[in-house]
Chains A and B, each alone.
Chain A
Amino acid sequence: MSNALSQLGPSEIKVNRRWCKACGICIALCPKNVLEADEKGKAVVVAPENCTRCGICETHCPDFAISVEVNRSND
């Protein structure tokens, strides 16, 4: 799995802070603890290198406020 990651290049996790309502679901469900809550409870990316692009954060965000953009270096 890991070599596949490197080929894909770093994933870019974007958080739309205006839409995020700090419910904490993405932080709790992320299997690799990539995210943490800031002082307002909103999601912040703290360990992007751990991201496996599983997309659980994005598909479980009630606010459409987090997305995992995959920069396909070889596309």
Chain B
Amino acid sequence: MFAQIEEYFRLEKMPHIWCPGCGHGIILGAMVRAIKELGYDQDKTVVVSGIGCSSRASGYLDFNTLHTTHGRALAFATGIKLARPELNIFVVMGDGDCTAIGGNHFIHAARRNIDLNAIIFNNNIYGMTGGQYSPTTPYDKKATTAPYGTIERSFDLVELAKASGATFVGRATAYHTKLLTQLIVQGAKNKGFSVIEAISQCPTSYGRRNKMGDPVEMIKWQKEHAVNVKAAKNMTEEQLAGKFKIGVLHQSEAPEYTAMYDEIIARAQQKVKK
């Protein structure tokens, strides 16, 4: 079945650089399967990434790929999308890339509801630079820059995206690959800003430092701690304690940015004709 998505890869660039058991390859697979299901024309598909482990994904994919500066992928992608709205754009970011240095661009891209698919590979750590804590590292967890445990509360990316105006927000994990693919497909079909948070595992930095075991145990941890939003409806507070919801977590309607701008062009050209 890899043969079915092989055409989307730059095979000469593989194997990839991610560590053994890192969840990023699993999430990338789910994303490519979604693109396959969507049937997008590779020439009209763009993958923009920031800086960090997950952002190396753009190099492995046979699309128009742009590996930008740390935190700025969404701003670069905004320029591409506004310039050529017909392009399908996936923006691959890590948790730090997207919500620390990139936080300002994240909330504004959501507020604008520009048709971009933000896929956040959330492994709760800065992996590329060796394991520093990020805005999604849970409270009191260890990282190279939090040797005594983090003292900061972490973002809930879903709530952040929802509050900023994203019109489709979903969460899945490296374990729930089928759901992840479905969410990416649904997000891509949403004509507006779509955010998919993909919980990933970083055995090398986060897992080792926080004694979460090997990749198998980390991916099983995802299975045991994720609760589908539908199931969660009839679960008590206690049952939900320590768990996180997955599935489609927010959907709303709002005009899409580039569509609105096309109306501005029509109006402006009307005015000039008079």
Specify which chain B residues have a CB less than 8 angstroms from the CB of A64 in the assembled complex: 2, 9, 14-15, 25, 29
A64 to B3, CA, bound (A): 10
Cβ-defined partner of B216 (8 Å) among A21, A25, A70: A25
| Beyond A21-B15, A60-B26, A68-B1, 10 extra complex contacts between A and B, CB < 8 Å | A23-B214, A23-B216, A25-B215, A29-B216, A58-B2, A59-B33, A60-B175, A62-B18, A62-B174, A67-B3
Which A residues are closer than 8 A to B by beta carbons?
A: 18-19, 21-25, 28-29, 55, 58-70
Minimum distance in angstroms from B18 CB to a CB of chain A? 6
Contact residue range for chain B? Answer: 20 to 34
Contacts of B11-45 to chain A: CB distance below 8 A = 14-16, 18-26, 29-30, 33
- B177 contacts partner chain A, Cβ-Cβ < 8 Å: yes
- B267 contacts partner chain A, Cβ-Cβ < 8 Å: no
Cβ-defined partner of B215 (8 Å) among A24, A65, A66: A24
Which B residues are closer than 8 A to A by beta carbons?
A: 1-3, 9, 14-16, 18-26, 29-30, 33, 174-175, 177-178, 203, 214-216, 219-220
Minimum distance in angstroms from B170 CB to a CB of chain A? 17
Minimum distance in angstroms from A44 CB to a CB of chain B? 16
Given contacts A60-B219, A64-B14, are A25 and B3 in contact (CB under 8 A)? no
Cβ-defined partner of B14 (8 Å) among A19, A29, A61: A19
Given contacts A61-B29, A62-B25, are A21 and B2 in contact (CB under 8 A)? no
B178→A59 contact, CB < 8 A: yes
Cβ-defined partner of A67 (8 Å) among B1, B18, B20, B214: B1
B2→A62 contact, CB < 8 A: no
Minimal Cβ-Cβ distance residue in A for B215: A23
Specify which chain B residues have a CB less than 8 angstroms from the CB of A62 in the assembled complex: 18, 20-26, 174, 215
Cβ-defined partner of B177 (8 Å) among A21, A59, A68, A70: A59
Minimal Cβ-Cβ distance residue in A for B21: A23
A70 to B18, CA, bound (A): 28
A29 to B174, CA, bound (A): 12
Specify which chain B residues have a CB less than 8 angstroms from the CB of A58 in the assembled complex: 1-2
Minimum distance in angstroms from B268 CB to a CB of chain A? 48
CB<8 Å pairs between A and B, sample of 28: A18-B15, A23-B203, A23-B214, A24-B214, A25-B26, A25-B219, A29-B219, A55-B1, A58-B2, A59-B29, A59-B33, A59-B178, A60-B26, A60-B174, A60-B177, A60-B219, A61-B25, A62-B21, A62-B22, A62-B25, A62-B26, A63-B15, A63-B16, A64-B25, A65-B15, A67-B1, A67-B3, A69-B1
